[in-house]
């Protein structure tokens, strides 16, 4: 294998250094290194390859929205070297067969590692536990289990799932949404929903489930991960659970760090634009501030995209009929730069912790989320924070175009991504 030298990269935003890659690992880090191939990284920040705990790749079943191939291209272009593929496919990823299929498709595509998430309940129907052990033992080595898109609302089933995953060091990732409190809910319950006459989605519907699940996880001594926190109250509950020493982790999406519910009323793309319809819903400015502070102080462990591609016909319709979700893989790092780095809340080392180290730890992803140091697998992202450009989804690798940032300028650009020393992205394009 040829050696590659990355010249003058600022590792985690530090002083410029050269990074020599040989046989898929970081072989040397220092000054004046040379190799068979040279990549000029002057001014670029080197981050460990990003890891996403929450990606919807839609295959099998909704290949009109995304495939493993297109979704992992988008991931690589966003700086990711590993993604967790959510289980709400068709068929649902609730057996060893389906998770192995998704895992193999990821291997064949080769743009980043795909770690399938296994469903908690058969068919996401919330009635019977799926074959968690068989999925854990399969070639896909599933460690994260989630009915995401739906909440495991039955307390007994949630308790059993938490008990079951302990046997193989798994984690249950909960989509916290009390179903009866959110029946027909359309957007955050508050002043804006009142003015617009849309059914409200109260914060308590999220917070009540998180509180219950923290108590259940403590009761059975298991690991709980809370998906996409969206309210200030959820932050307080997770902070309380952590203060007790319970094994609870949490994620926040880029969009919940930047966007607010008043965009539904008035935005650059008009009012009632379903591009802003998402689950959980966009909340208030006070919630956004609380989420940012919690991500900065570590109460929220990581950023997860909840990349949720939908075809045009499912989004460009009237609000009530539109699908919930936004794409996010190709803008995540830029949004985090805008919301967290440019506000002084995180430095690049902090970004590496929250977008690579922590998600790899929570998902038990070996060989990802490791520091850029000699001997570690060469999973690295080169990022230019100095540029700023208007978002244009026309060129996105994702099969879907439902980004809420169209027409908005965002900072930064992923210049290159390396997966075990092999470039998956160079010059901002697929290698």
256 binds Zn ion (CB under 5 A): no
Q: Is 69 or 251 the residue whose CB approaches Zn ion more closely?
A: 251
The residue behind tokens 């298991």 is 222
175 binds Zn ion (CB under 5 A): yes
Q: Is 4 or 275 the residue whose CB approaches Zn ion more closely?
A: 275
DSSP string, 242-294: HHTT--EEEEE-HHHHH--GGGGTS-TT-SS-GGG--SSPP--HHHHHHHHHH
Facing residues of 114 across strands?
83
Q: Is 251 or 261 the residue whose CB approaches Zn ion more closely?
A: 251
Tell me the site size for Zn ion, rule CB under 5 A: 2
Q: Which single residue brings its beta carbon nearest to Zn ion?
A: 175
Which residue of the set 52, 301, 306, 314 is catalytic? 306
225 binds Zn ion (CB under 5 A): no
Task: Show the site string, 100-139: x = touches Zn ion by CB under 5 A, - = not.
Answer: ----------------------------------------
52 binds Zn ion (CB under 5 A): no
Tokens of 272: 């009632």
**306 is known as an active-site residue:** yes
Q: Is 219 annotated as a binding residue?
A: no
Task: Give min distance, CB of 174 to Zn ion, in A.
Answer: 9
Task: Give min distance, CB of 282 to Zn ion, in A.
Answer: 14
Task: Give min distance, CB of 323 to Zn ion, in A.
Answer: 13
Tokens of 54: 């929450």
Tokens of 319: 């609000």
| Radius of gyration over every alpha carbon of the chain, rounded to an integer in angstroms | 20
Task: Give min distance, CB of 175 to Zn ion, in A.
Answer: 4
Considering only 172-180, 205-213, 232-240, 328-336, which stretch makes contact with Zn ion by CB under 5 A? 172-180
Task: Give min distance, CB of 54 to Zn ion, in A.
Answer: 7
CA distance 35 to 345: 37
User: At 339, which helix (H) or strand (E)?
Assistant: none
Q: Is 228 annotated as a binding residue?
A: yes
Q: Is 84 annotated as a binding residue?
A: no
Burial of 16 (0-12, 13-18, 19+ CB in 10 A): middle
148 binds Zn ion (CB under 5 A): yes
Helix (H, G, I), strand (E, B) or coil at 320: helix
CA distance 205 to 217: 19
Degrees to nearest 5, angle at CA 176 with 301 and 281: 90
Q: Is 47 or 86 the residue whose CB approaches Zn ion more closely?
A: 86
Burial of 37 (0-12, 13-18, 19+ CB in 10 A): exposed
Give the number of other CB atoms < 10 A from CB of residue 60: 17
Q: Is 146 or 334 the residue whose CB approaches Zn ion more closely?
A: 146
Residue positions forming the annotated binding site for Zn(2+): 54, 56, 148, 175, 228, 306
Binding residues (CB under 5 A) for Zn ion: these are: 148, 175
| Catalytic positions | 306
């Amino acid at each position: 294998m040829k050696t590659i030298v990355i010249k003058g990269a600022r590792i985690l935003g530090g002083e410029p250094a050269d990074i020599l890659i040989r046989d898929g690992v970081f072989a040397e880090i220092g000054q004046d290194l040379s190799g068979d191939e040279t990549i000029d990284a002057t001014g670029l920040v080197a981050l460990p390859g990003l890891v996403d705990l929450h990606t919807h790749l839609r295959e099998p079943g909704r290949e009109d929205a995304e495939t493993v191939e297109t979704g992992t291209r988008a991931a690589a272009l966003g700086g990711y070297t590993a993604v967790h593929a959510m289980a709400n496919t068709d068929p649902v990823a609730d057996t060893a067969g389906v998770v192995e299929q998704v895992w193999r498709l990821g291997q064949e595509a080769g743009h980043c590692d795909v770690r399938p998430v296994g469903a908690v309940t058969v068919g996401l129907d919330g009635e019977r536990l799926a074959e968690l052990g068989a999925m854990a033992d399969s070639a896909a080595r599933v460690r994260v289990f989630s009915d995401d898109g739906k909440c495991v609302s039955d307390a007994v089933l949630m308790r059993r799932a938490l008990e079951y995953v302990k046997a193989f060091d798994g984690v249950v990732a909960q989509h916290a949404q009390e179903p009866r409190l959110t029946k027909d809910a359309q957007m955050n319950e508050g002043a804006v929903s009142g003015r617009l006459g849309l059914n409200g989605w109260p914060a308590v519907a999220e917070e009540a489930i998180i509180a219950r699940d923290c108590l259940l996880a403590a009761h059975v001594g298991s690991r709980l991960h809370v998906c996409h926190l969206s309210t200030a109250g959820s932050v307080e509950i997770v902070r309380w659970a952590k203060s007790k020493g319970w094994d609870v982790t949490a994620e926040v999406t880029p969009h919940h760090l930047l966007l607010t519910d008043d965009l539904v009323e008035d935005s650059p793309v008009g009012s009632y634009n379903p591009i802003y319809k998402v689950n959980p819903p966009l909340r208030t400015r006070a919630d956004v501030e609380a989420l940012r502070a919690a991500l900065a102080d570590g109460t929220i462990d990581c950023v997860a995209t909840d990349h949720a591609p939908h075809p045009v016909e499912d989004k460009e319709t009237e609000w009530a009929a539109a699908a919930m979700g936004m794409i996010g893989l190709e803008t995540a790092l830029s949004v985090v730069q805008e919301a967290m780095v440019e506000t002084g809340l995180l430095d690049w080392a902090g970004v590496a912790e929250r977008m690579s180290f922590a998600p790899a730890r929570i998902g038990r992803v070996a060989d990802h989320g490791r520091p850029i140091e000699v001997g570690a697998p060469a999973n690295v992202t080169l990022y230019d924070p100095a540029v700023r450009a208007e978002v244009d989804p026309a060129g996105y690798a994702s099969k879907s175009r439902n980004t809420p940032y169209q027409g908005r300028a965002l900072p930064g650009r992923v210049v290159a991504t390396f997966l075990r020393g092999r470039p998956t992205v160079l010059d901002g394009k697929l290698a």
